[in-house]
């Protein structure tokens, strides 16, 4: 009977913590389990259980990456469901909020840090440019040309650590891989040090400065995303 399905669906939403998760995920980004645990103020174990329920219930999709578990709203259908419910809950004042939120989301999509390297369209653009110039292989390993280039242009010599020099990191907003590893971290640090990118506010979003724009154009032929 349809009533049972309705009740099951509602039960999935009928919890304070899960509701907080979903609201947070309304920004369309992928969050890690611990980020959500902190946002909802529950223990990591609790968050983990909630996430499995939400994924099983089809509201979220997950992607394991290394030791992280990323979750995201499963799709526009699910987002729409939440919007409908929030609309019912009434005169929220989202004209400003939604605008701010979507502006924030756009900024994050354009460029951001992912731990210690660059992600978003900016990260992808740099990675692509390095690949087409033969500095990286298709599966994001550093070529010999790449090594000399990093040395000459960025003053980068690979440290003697076990951390891989280059690694592919899947980008959740772009659904593309971009450069991580020590090389990726160094590129990010270098761009910050030169003042080519700057953090926006307190979050992970970054923007390309005017000097950075011309510098990247010269260096790699990268044009500012968006």
Partner DNA sequence: CGGTCACTTCGGCCACCGCCGAACCGTCGT
Partner DNA sequence: ACGACGGTTCGGCGGTGGCCGAAGTGACCG
**Could you list the residues that contact DNA (CB under 7 A)?**
11, 14-18, 32-35, 37, 41-53, 65-69, 161-164
Residue 3 vs 95, nearer CB to DNA: 3
Residue whose entry in the numeric block shows the structure tokens 């971290």: 185
CB of 115 to its own copies, least distance (A): 28
Category of 90 on φ-ψ map: left (φ > 0), alpha (ψ -120 to 50) or beta: left
State in angstroms the smallest separation of the CB of 35 from its own copies: 16
- Residue whose CB is less far from its own copies, 10 or 193: 10
Considering only CA atoms, which of 136, 132, 134, 121 is closest in space to residue 184?
136
Residue pair 177/140 in contact (Cβ under 8 Å)? The answer is yes
Query: With CB cut-offs between 5 and 8 Å by kind, which of DNA, its own copies, none does residue 34 bind?
Result: DNA
* 3-class DSSP string for 118-166: EEHHHHHHHHHHHHHCCCECCCCCECHHHHHHHHHHHCCCCCCCCCCCC
For residues 9 and 141, which CB has a smaller minimum distance to its own copies in the complex? 9
Contact partner at residue 69 from DNA, its own copies, none, CB < 5 to 8 Å by partner kind: DNA
Least distance from its own copies to the Cβ atom of residue 16, Å: 5
Q: Supply the minimum distance, in Å, between the C-beta of residue 101 and its own copies.
A: 13
Secondary structure (3-state) at 121: helix
Q: Which is nearer to DNA, 70 or 196 (CB)?
A: 70
Question: Chain centroid to CA 189: how far?
Answer: 18
CB of 163 to DNA, least distance (A): 4
Q: Which is nearer to DNA, 42 or 122 (CB)?
A: 42
223 binds, among DNA, its own copies, none (CB under 5 to 8 A by kind): none
8-state DSSP, 169: E
Rule CB under 8 A: which residues touch its own copies? 1-16, 18-20, 22-23, 40, 77-78, 80-81, 84-86, 88-89, 92
The least CB distance from residue 211 to DNA, in Å, is 29
Output Rg (C-alpha) for the chain, integer angstroms: 20
Looking at the DSSP bridge assignments, the partners of residue 41 are none
For residue 140, give the nearest of 111, 189, 180 by alpha carbon. 180
């Amino acid at each position: 009977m349809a009533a049972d399905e309705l009740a099951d669906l509602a039960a999935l939403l009928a919890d304070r913590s899960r509701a907080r998760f979903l609201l947070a995920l309304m920004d369309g980004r992928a969050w890690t389990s611990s980020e959500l645990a902190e946002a909802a103020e529950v223990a990591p174990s609790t968050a983990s259980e909630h996430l499995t329920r939400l994924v099983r219930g089809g509201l979220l999709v997950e992607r394991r990456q290394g030791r992280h578990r990323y979750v995201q709203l499963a799709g526009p259908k699910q987002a729409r469901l939440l919007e409908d419910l929030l609309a019912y809950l009434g005169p929220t004042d989202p004209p400003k909020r939604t605008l701010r939120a979507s502006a924030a989301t756009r900024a994050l999509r354009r460029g951001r840090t992912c731990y210690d390297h660059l992600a978003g369209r900016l990260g992808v653009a740099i990675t692509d440019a390095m690949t087409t110039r033969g500095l990286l292989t298709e599966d994001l390993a550093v070529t010999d040309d790449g090594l000399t280039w990093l040395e000459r242009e960025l003053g980068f010599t690979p440290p003697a650590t076990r951390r891989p020099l280059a690694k592919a990191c899947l980008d959740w907003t772009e659904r593309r891989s971009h450069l991580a590893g020590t090389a990726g971290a160094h590129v990010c640090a270098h761009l910050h040090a030169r003042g080519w990118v700057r953090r926006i506010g307190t979050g992970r979003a970054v923007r390309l400065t005017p000097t950075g724009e011309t510098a990247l154009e010269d260096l790699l032929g990268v044009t500012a995303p968006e």
